[in-house]
Amino acid sequence: MLRFVTPMYIWKTMRYFNLGMEKKLKHSINRVDEFAEDVIQTRKEELSLQCDNNMSKQRSDLLTVFMGLKDEAGQPFSDKFLRDICFNFILSGRDTSSEALSWFFWLLHHNPRVEERILEEICGIVSEREEVKKGEYQSVIFRPKEIKKMDYLHAAVSDALSLYPSVPADQKEARYFMKRGRMEGIWGKDCREFKPERWLRDGRFMNESAYNFTAFNGGPRLCLGKDFAYYQMKFVAASVIYRYHVQVVENHPVVPKLALTMYMKHGLKVNLYRRDESEIQKYLNTN
């Protein structure tokens, strides 16, 4: 993150002589590489044992999937490629999604009407399930097609990302002066409010231009994991909201931390209150 605010000739000199923050970064990258390589070697040993024992049940995680694929020349991917895949999912996939959900639940705490609308939407979608009709509310595991129908939840996650993007630093060279933060000319007078409705047209989610909504970058640098990240965040958010009311601990300090991604400096401390079945039934009856 300091590279964004340090003149290039300074940090490049520090990197060349292995000094200060560049020395620390180099050490940190080596530690991450060692961790990823250890994961890869451990997984290879596990797969080898499975083959030797003729075990029919195979792992289905992403790393194992990539290990089973081949490159354009028909060769298995190199350990370096697999290491980069691990690093990409750790940094780009795990941290960014968890950070986005932290800010999302913090915003829900301050906007209970949004939480109610999300819960109402979820209940409307699952109301036709046989197990729900029988009163088995807690056993629901959302299906991909159900997650896709959650337009208001999609809008709420998008507005949270617009207010608190997981990757807030996006280095571009502007040809004209730009104000920081949301621009009223794009988002309206209420641009600083958490308002999922701004993303909806006749109740359906409508994408904004990637150059207005920069949380996933745009053009040739558009995040490859955008759709997967949305599915992941919506699945987690829906699963939690359907079962619990999330309440932030009183007087817990919520401030961003200076980093490449937008961490909460002190994390997000919450209390979870399991929803009463009568509350779920109320929304099911509404739909």
Residues annotated within the binding site for heme are: 223
Report phi then psi at 17, rounded to 5: -95, 5
> Known binding site: residues?
223
Among candidate residues 70, 99, 81, the one with its CA nearest the CA of residue 260: 99
d(CA 287, CA 280): 11
Q: Are 34 and 43 in contact (CB under 8 A)?
A: no
Among candidate residues 181, 165, 182, the one with its CA nearest the CA of residue 262: 165
What are the DSSP calls for the chain, one per residue? Answer: -GGGTS-HHHHHHHHHTT-HHHHHHHHHHHHHHHHHHHHHHHHHHHHHHHHHTT-S----SHHHHHHT-B-TTSPBPPHHHHHHHHHHIIIIIIIHHHHHHHHHHHHHHH-HHHHHHHHHHHHHHHTT-HHHHTT--TT----HHHHHH-HHHHHHHHHHHHHS-SS-------SS---SS--HHHH-TTTTS--GGGGEETTEE-PPPTTTSGGG--GGG--TTHHHHHHHHHHHHHHHHHHEEEEEPTT----B-SSSS--BTT---EEEEEPPHHHHHHHHHH-
